[in-house]
Structures are given as C-alpha cells and as structure tokens.
Structure 1
C-alpha cells in the first residue's frame, strides 16, 4: 500500500541553500516526490515533519497539513494501490485540483496565445511560468496567489538578479494570467491579488534618435560580409518608420502593390473592440524601399528562405 508524508530532501538543497518541502510517496520499495511551494531556509527549521523556528511556521504547517489531507483523499481513490511510487505520483498530480493548477492553466493560456499568432508574447509568458514554478513549485494553485505571494515572487526574482524592468515584465505577465483565469471562471478572488500590489516601475531609457541620426541611418552604405544583413535591417527600419511604426510581422504579411497598406495588427487583434483594420497610405519614400523587394504577389521578399518568422526577426534584430 502506498504511503505519503511531508519531508525534505537533505541531499538536494535549492540553489540558494534552502530546502523545499515535498510530498514524499513510498510504494513497493520505491520513492517519488511532489514539490510544494513551501520551503525552509536551513535544516534546523525542519523537525518531525513540521516547520520549526520560522516566523510563519504555524501558518505554513496548517497549510501543509491541509495540502497533505487533499493528497491523502485522492490516494484513497486510487484503483490499484499496488504500483510504483512514480505511478502513484502521476495519479495524484493528474487529479489534484487540475483546473485550479497554475501550471496547467498557464500552459493552456500559452497555447491559446500561440494560436492567436502572439508567439513572441507566448514565449515570454513561458519564461515567466518557469520562474513561477521555480519559486512556488509545480503544485501551486491559482487560489494561493495573494499579495504576500506576489511579494515572495518579487523577492525571488530580485534574489536571482532581476532588475526592476525585468520584474515589471514578469509581474505584468502574472497579472494578465490571473486576470484571464478569473475571466475564464477558473478561479474566484474576493480581492484580486494585484489590487494593493504596486508593480515596480520600468527603468526609463532615452531611446529616441535625432533627425540627424535618422538621416545618417537612411543614407548609410555598408561593406563587407555584413552588407546584406545591415542593408535589409536598415530598409525594414526605415519602411516601418515611413509606415507609422508598423510591426515586422504585420509588414511581412501585408500586400504592398497598391497605394495603401491595410492590415489587422496581430498584437491587438484579440483585444481591440470595434474596427480593427488599420490603413496607411504608402508614401514615395516607402514606395522606393518596397519596390526593391516586392514580389509579383505583392509581398516583400528579402531573399531568405527562412521557414519560421522568428528566425527572420532574429536576423533583422541582429542586423539593427
């Protein structure tokens, strides 16, 4: 018969020297572990299956007991208890508040973003999910996100060397994720976690270029092995400038053999209400660049057989 209990793995501390509290599963002479969001700073804070000598010991122990009870209830329903600890773990994880799991919901949300064509945002949301799991463990549920949990996540990011700008991005991603979960009725918050939490402000950078610098870029001549890359990057930068800042992904999909560019901006297509089409008149300066790279189908072609948009975007970014 499988057994479960609370414990820590002394031989496997975290990178910062702390120890995560685990659900330890024993069955048929094998052992498996389920991570929790709880941890102790050192071995002296764990004794007899409980957190001790810790400012939040009482609260955390109550939550851990409740968590263990949930897993015990699921274990009681296992059809065949005579299996390995790994099999028991898989059974428990599949049935533990699946709909309320941060990891499960975030992965589904990321898939939704990818289907909407928001691949770059989906990729960055994936990075944020990685840090959330790193901080709270894979079994953390959406309901557990409170202002104190947000503060804990911020501390975790700072400990890892993240700047205010990076923390702003990660927290903005988490806020969007929790908002989406609430809107999808996956979780209900009496008080939304971010209501009284202030997201760190991004560092202000002066990234404007002068008219003189823009003129130098427009007229620049390139030589050597990077001539083609720099020329393509320059042409796309200037074309975006002449077309009211159009994004590369929208520009590459647009038909450009007429007097105007009409498109639906991918970045806001699923958010914006009402009229979504954007129409821009092609100015002579833009037409001169377009005609250098225009195909018979009215699309831009820079001579690169990249199958993935992200590859070409990376190529252009490096060129810039």
Structure 2
C-alpha cells in the first residue's frame, strides 16, 4: 500500500540552514520525495505540521490541498502493485489523464527522457518525427485529437516526401512510441487507439555481417594511423563482448572481471532478464587495457566531443580501415554485432543464448523461453566458442556443412 506524508529531509538543508517541505511517497519498502515550494526552519516543523511560523495556518491549508490532490490521483491507480515507487511518483506528479497535452509536448517530454538516459541518437529521431508532424498538421494538435485516419494521412504525407518505405515505417513506429508513452504516463487515454488501422512493417534485415575471412582481416590488421587502430580495437571489442553496442562500451566500467550491464537501447522497455552478465574474455581484456583510464575504468580515446560525433568518427574510421584492407563488403560498427550473431548461429549456439548475449527481447521466441533462463556460464561458453571459431574456422567447417545439410534436408 502506497502512503503520502509531509516531511523535511534534514540531509538536504539549503545553504541558509532552512528546509523545503517535501511529500514522502512510500511504496514497496521504498521512499521517494516530491518537493514543494514551501521553505521553513527545522524548528518550524513538527508531526507533519508547520508550527511557529507567521503563516503556519495558510501554509498548512495549502499543503493539505496538495496532499488531497495527490491522494486522489493515488487512489485512482487501479493496480498499485504493478508500479515501482518512482513510477507512482511520476504518475501522480503530472495531471492525471490530461487531454490537453499536445503531440509536440509529448515528443519533447520523450526527448528529455531519452537524453537523460544517454540515448541521444533515438532522441534525435523523435525530434525529427515531431518536426514532420508539425509540417503535416501545419502546427500542433492535441493528443486527444489523434485518430486512425489522421495517422494514415500522416503516413501518406511522409511518402510524398519521396523517402523509402523503411523510413516511413520507422517514423510511424517512433510516432507510435510517443503515443504509447503518453498513454503509459496517463497523459491521454483512447477508446480507439490511433494506430489501430495502421500496419507498420518490420525493417528489413540489414546484410552487415562479414565473412570470417574479412572479419579476420580487420582483427589481424596492423594499421599505423591511431584512428584506424582505435577503430579496429573497438570493432573487435564489440565482437569479443557478444556484440556489445558502442554506447554501452563507452559507458561501462571495465575494472571488474565480470561484465554486467543493461543495453541503453532497451533500458526501461524490457522488464525481466534485461541484465546481461558474462566474464570478460582475455582477448577483450587485452584491448581494454590499452585504452582504459584506471581511475574510472572507462575507455578513453582522447576524443572530447559528443558521443554522436564520436560514433560517426568511429564509423568513418572503420570505412577507411576496410578500404585500406581491400574488403569488398560494407563494414560498419554494427557489423561486429551482426557477425557475432551469425557465427554463433552457424556453429549451433542455441538462439536463446545468442539473444541473451545480444540483449534481445525474447517475446518472439516461443513459450519455452518464459520457463528457462540463460546463465552466465552459458554466455561465457558461447562467447568463448564463437571466438574459437574465428581463430580456427577450419575446425568447424565439417560441422557447419553437416548442420547446413540437415537444416536444408539435403543429402
């Protein structure tokens, strides 16, 4: 049961020694605070009431009104047990089921959230959707005015811009994410969801995995330029760490032998089993030691600009490295992740373990996945086996051919 009460937080005193009155929300043995505008001295607060203050009566009345309003919102939540203390705070701190929020403000709120989570690239995509929609609507509209026909008209508007169908589906999916977040935050409710008649096709699978031969060209290369050495090391590090994304690599403290992290891309969207845990292989540790700042445990390449710019710098450098090595396949940083998944599948690593290493959701993999768990030991063995495969591809050649025959029912 969630409870609300007035309090002061003695450890959070202002510079002059006074305190802001806070509303303590307690739920599931956790406590979070909603800060009010009222400031008092420590001796002017007793048993949840303002005392010894010239405006004590008026302040207590206003605080009671705030508490009553929050309690009403709290009581309107049907299934409190589904929410964390922080989630309940976010719900009751906003206007409950407000139908006055516009699509642009919903986009802005989502962008702020994404940036706070370090997901700047996705934030830029949501900003783009907001711009396109404002152009389409010739201004802004209320979320409550979004209808299925309006969404379909927006899709037609995007297509007139002569973009690819993949871009259309991506932007519609991002717009749907904005709407769904507003629903989850109780800023809007619909009798008929705006996307009920809009079919969003999945993006085609990008062919970015490399042949083992081309992968080993990169892995075994000895470039002279510092930027190419950095690109090679980051590419290989991603592969050795089970296809770890660049943003997660740059945010990770590598001082421990066991790596434990949640993907930035899916943080907050996946519930259980979102933490990926495995032992850092020796091949990865060798690269980490070359670039790690021992004070923070994070990698430091001496690049002081934004992550977005750094990501582009790595991509361009990888392209230069591939060109220098005469690799005829397209090489991006994502190729390391795709190649890890492809090689793991070729040598028979179960899909569930591959998904665990990659940090993928398991919703589409069947009921059995909900009854089994991947352990760290299984992930360690899978990563070790994939690394052994690129080290000794001939050792696995016969097995891969036999498995391919069985899968294709040949021979």
Is TM more than 0.5 here? yes
Cα drift, residue 185 of structure 1: 2.4
Aligned to 1:318: 316
Q: Partners of 1:319 and 1:188 in 2: how far apart?
A: 47
Q: Decide which moves more: 276-285 or 228-237.
A: 276-285
Aligned to 2:301: 302
C-alpha offsets along residues 205-257 of structure 1, whole Å, 9 cap, x if unaligned? 3222111111111122335xxx2222211110110100011122221222223
Instruction: Select the residue among 231, 238, 241 that pairs with 2:239.
Output: 241
Cα drift, residue 283 of structure 1: 1.1
Cα drift, residue 193 of structure 1: 1.7
What's the TM-score once normalised by structure 1's chain length? 0.64
C-alpha offsets along residues 132-156 of structure 1, whole Å, 9 cap, x if unaligned? 1111122322122222212211111
Cα drift, residue 264 of structure 1: 3.0
2:274 maps to 1:273? no
Asked if the contact 1:116–1:270 (Cα under 8 Å) also holds between the matched residues in 2, the reply is no
Cα drift, residue 262 of structure 1: 2.1
Structure 2 unaligned runs (5+)? 1-97, 319-411
Aligned to 1:103: 104
Structure 1 unaligned runs (5+)? 1-96
Asked if the contact 2:100–2:143 (Cα under 8 Å) also holds between the matched residues in 1, the reply is no
C-alpha offsets along residues 82-109 of structure 1, whole Å, 9 cap, x if unaligned? xxxxxxxxxxxxxxx9833111222122
- How many correspondences in the alignment? 220
RMSD between aligned residues:
2.0
What's the TM-score once normalised by structure 2's chain length? 0.50
Structure 1 residues 263 and 202, CA gap change in structure 2 (3 angstroms):
closer
Q: Partners of 1:258 and 1:252 in 2: how far apart?
A: 15
Asked if the contact 1:263–1:278 (Cα under 8 Å) also holds between the matched residues in 2, the reply is yes
Structure 1 residues 275 and 151, CA gap change in structure 2 (3 angstroms):
closer
Asked if the contact 2:166–2:203 (Cα under 8 Å) also holds between the matched residues in 1, the reply is yes
Aligned to 2:148: 147
Asked if the contact 1:98–1:104 (Cα under 8 Å) also holds between the matched residues in 2, the reply is no
Q: Partners of 1:191 and 1:103 in 2: how far apart?
A: 21
2:168 maps to 1:170? no
Instruction: Select the residue among 289, 292, 295 that pairs with 2:290.
Output: 292
Q: Partners of 1:237 and 1:177 in 2: how far apart?
A: 33
